[in-house]
Amino acid sequence: MPLLPSLPFPSHNEVFPLTALEAGVARCALVLGSTWGAQGIYGDKALYVDPANPAEIRKGIESALAKGRNTPAVQQELLSNYSWRGVTERLKTVYEEAIAS
Q: Would 62 be classed as within a structural domain?
A: yes
**The pLDDT value given to residue 80:** 85
Is the pLDDT score of 5 beyond 50?
A: no
Q: Would 5 be classed as within a structural domain?
A: no
Q: Would 61 be classed as within a structural domain?
A: yes
Q: Would 46 be classed as within a structural domain?
A: yes
Q: Would 1 be classed as within a structural domain?
A: no
Q: Would 31 be classed as within a structural domain?
A: yes
Measured distance CA(60)–CA(12) in Å, rounded: 16
**The pLDDT value given to residue 69:** 92
Residue pLDDT, tens place only, 45-85? 999 999 889 999 999 999 999 999 999 999 999 988 888 88
DSSP string, the chain: --SS-SSPPGGGS-SS-HHHHHHHHTTPPEEEETTSSHHHHHGGGEEEE-TT-HHHHHHHHHHHHHH-SPPHHHHHHHHHHHSHHHHHHHHHHHHHHHHH-
11 pLDDT band (50/70/90 cuts)? low
Q: Would 66 be classed as within a structural domain?
A: yes
Is the pLDDT score of 7 beyond 50?
A: no
Q: How many domains does the chain have?
A: 1
Q: Would 3 be classed as within a structural domain?
A: no
